[in-house]
A = this chain, B = another copy of it.
Amino acid sequence: MENVGVLSFSLTGYEFSAVYNLLSLGIASMLFTSLFLFVARDRVLPKYRMAVMVSATVTSIAAYHYFRMFESFSHGYGINEYSTANKLALEAGQPAMSMLEFGAANYNVGYRYIDWFLTVPLLLVELVAVLGLAKAIQSSLLKRLVPAAALMIALGYPGDAKISILGIEGTGFASEAAIWGLLSTIPFLYILYVLWFEMKKSLDSQSEKVRGLFQTLRVLLIATWGVYPITFILAMNGPEVATAQDVVNREIGYTIADILAKCLFGLIIFSIARIKSAEESKEHAAAEGH
List residues of chain A with CB under 8 Å of any chain B CB. Answer: 1-2, 4-6, 8, 12-13, 17, 20-21, 24-25, 27-29, 31-32, 35-36, 38-43, 45-50, 53-54, 56-57, 60-61, 64-65, 68, 83, 86-87, 90, 95-98, 103, 105-106, 108, 110-111, 114-115, 117-118, 132, 135, 287-290
Contact A60 B35 (CB under 8 A): yes
Q: How many copies does the complex hold?
A: 2
The closest CB in chain B to the CB of A33 belongs to: B57
Q: Contact at B68–A24, with CB atoms within 8 Å?
A: yes
Q: Report Cα–Cα, A86/B165, bound state, in Å.
A: 14
A236 to B60, CA, bound (A): 41
Once the chains bind, are B57 and A32 in contact (CB under 8 Å)? Answer: yes
Contact B64 A40 (CB under 8 A): no
B27 to A64, Cβ gap below 8 A? yes
Question: CB distance A86 to B105 under 8 Å?
Answer: yes
Report the Cα distance A64→B70, complex, angstroms. Answer: 14
- How far apart are the CA atoms of A2 and B96 in the complex, in Å? 10
**Nearest B-chain residue to A135, judged by Cβ:** B290
Q: Decide: A118 and B29 in contact? CB cutoff 8 A.
A: yes
Q: CB distance A46 to B111 under 8 Å?
A: no
CB atoms of B21 and A111 under 8 A apart: yes
A217 to chain B minimum Cβ distance, whole angstroms, is: 18
Contact B98 A28 (CB under 8 A): no
Q: Assuming A86-B105, A105-B13, A105-B86, is B289 touching A1 (CB within 8 A)? A: no
Closest to A54 in B: B36
27 contacts between A and B (CB under 8 A): A1-B97, A4-B95, A6-B90, A6-B96, A17-B110, A20-B108, A21-B114, A24-B111, A25-B118, A28-B61, A28-B115, A28-B118, A31-B64, A35-B57, A38-B39, A39-B41, A39-B53, A39-B56, A40-B50, A43-B50, A47-B287, A47-B288, A47-B289, A48-B289, A87-B103, A90-B103, A96-B103
Tell me whether B47 and A17 are in contact (CB under 8 A).
no
The residue that A46 contacts in the complex, of B13, B46, B86, B288, with Cβ under 8 A, is B288
A135: chain B residues within 8 A (beta carbon): 290
Q: Is the CB of A6 within 8 A of B97?
A: yes
Residue in B closest to A89 when the chains form the complex, CB atoms: B6
Closest 7 CB pairs of A and B: A47-B289, A21-B110, A46-B287, A6-B97, A25-B114, A97-B105, A36-B57
A29: chain B residues at CB < 8 Å are: 118
A225 to B233, CA, bound (A): 42
Given the complex, which residues of B lie within 8 Å of A4, measured CB to CB? Answer: 95, 97
Contact A1 B108 (CB under 8 A): no
Chain B residues near A64 (CB-CB < 8 A): 27-28, 31-32
Known A-B contacts A1-B12, A287-B46; the reply to A6 vs B86 at CB < 8 A is yes
